[in-house]
């Protein structure tokens, strides 16, 4: 939870919070005082341009909490399955999870690593536009409260754990369990669908944008922590669900650059809305 009081600095009002972080084992860690700011216009435009973040509320948007309503989720997945001409509900659930994971992980982790801003992406703070008969695109998200908890050198480890927990424990893990219950899509598929976007974000997207040594070091440190050191409890799991998917890249005949072959198939080939749909180049089924 957050304990809040207000201060003024140079005529600008900030919210100052104490962040109280509860672990799965019942331990409590209190972050030193930190300052909340909001994302600026340039940062919001970046998220809109690169990660399908929507800064506009629409009548079609629903609270992400409704993804835990199994009856409603089943209805939405059935509609999505028909739109995609998916062969099964499992296939539709996997495709939805890829897009939802992309939205959540890119927005939150980019802000965390590149701007040192921790956004609240818990289910209660997210609005989601689900695909419908008039909109064949995949989901966009809107964030109700754009306050971002900034980090400082003395508390970045605790701050980073809190940011990761908001994204994974408070959101993705719960949605994945709901998808699994409704569609029976295997959890490893959902977590690898998540992992591939995190790998792309840190190994490609961020690295292409920066040249200074300090930022590159932070990219490397945050990525290593996410996939190797972060505890399973931050993800709502008994162990880190990303670690096992981080394997060595290899060269394939279908790709000029080395690629990381997946351990699970995302079932994309089971969409029949287009003829001759094949396997992804990283799919284990074609190796």
Torsion of CA 111, 1, 18, 215, to 10 degrees: -20
Higher pLDDT, 92 or 56: 92
- The pLDDT value recorded for residue 112 is 95
Q: Residue for token digits 């990761």?
A: 164
Q: Over 80: is that where the pLDDT of 269 sits?
A: yes
Q: How many C-alpha atoms does 128 have within 13 Å on its Cβ side?
A: 26
User: How many angstroms separate the CA atoms of 138 and 183, rounded?
Assistant: 18
Residues 6+ apart with CB under 8 A from 42: none
Residue-level pLDDT at 275: 57
CATH code that applies to domain 35-246: 1.10.510
Question: What pLDDT, on the 0 to 100 scale, is given for residue 274?
Answer: 57
Per-residue pLDDT at 153: 57
Note the pLDDT of residue 19: 45
Is residue 190 classed exposed, middle or buried when 0-12, 13-18 and 19+ CB atoms within 10 A define those classes? Answer: buried
Give the mean pLDDT of the chain.
83
In the predicted model, is pLDDT for residue 97 greater than 70?
yes
In this structure, the dihedral spanned by the alpha carbons of residues 70, 109, 280 and 76, taken in order and rounded to 10 degrees, is 20
Least confident segment among 26-35, 204-213, 266-275: 26-35
pLDDT band for position 154 (cuts 50, 70, 90): low
**pLDDT tens-digit profile of 50-86?**
998 877 777 778 899 999 999 999 998 998 898 888 9
Q: Quick one: which of 194, 197, 51 has its CA closest to 111?
A: 51
């Amino acid at each position: 939870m957050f304990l809040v009081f207000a201060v003024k600095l140079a005529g600008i009002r900030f919210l100052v919070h104490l962040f109280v972080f509860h672990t799965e084992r019942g331990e409590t860690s209190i972050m030193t005082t930190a300052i909340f700011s909001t994302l600026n216009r340039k940062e919001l435009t970046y998220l809109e341009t690169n990660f399908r973040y929507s800064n506009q509320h629409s009548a079609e948007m629903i609270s992400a909490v409704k993804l835990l309503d199994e009856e409603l989720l089943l209805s939405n997945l059935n509609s999505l399955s028909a739109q995609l001409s998916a062969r099964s509900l499992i296939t539709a659930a996997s495709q939805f999870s890829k897009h939802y994971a992309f939205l959540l992980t890119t927005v939150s982790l980019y802000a965390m690593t590149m701007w040192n801003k921790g956004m609240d992406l818990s289910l209660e703070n997210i609005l989601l536009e689900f695909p419908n008969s008039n909109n064949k695109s995949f989901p966009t998200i809107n964030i109700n409260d754009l306050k971002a908890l900034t980090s400082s050198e003395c508390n970045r480890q605790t701050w980073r754990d809190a940011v990761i927990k908001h994204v994974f424990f408070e959101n993705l893990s719960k949605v994945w369990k709901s998808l699994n219950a409704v569609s029976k899509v295997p959890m490893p598929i959902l977590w690898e669908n998540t992992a591939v976007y995190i790998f792309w974000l840190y190994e490609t997207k961020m690295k292409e944008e920066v040249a200074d040594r300090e930022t590159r070091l932070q990219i490397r440190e945050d990525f290593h922590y996410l996939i190797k050191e972060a505890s399973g409890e931050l993800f709502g799991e008994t162990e880190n669900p990303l670690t096992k998917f981080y394997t060595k890249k290899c060269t394939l005949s279908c790709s000029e650059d080395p690629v990381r072959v997946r351990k699970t198939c995302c079932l994309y080939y089971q969409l029949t809305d287009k003829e001759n749909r094949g396997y992804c180049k990283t799919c284990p089924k074609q190796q």
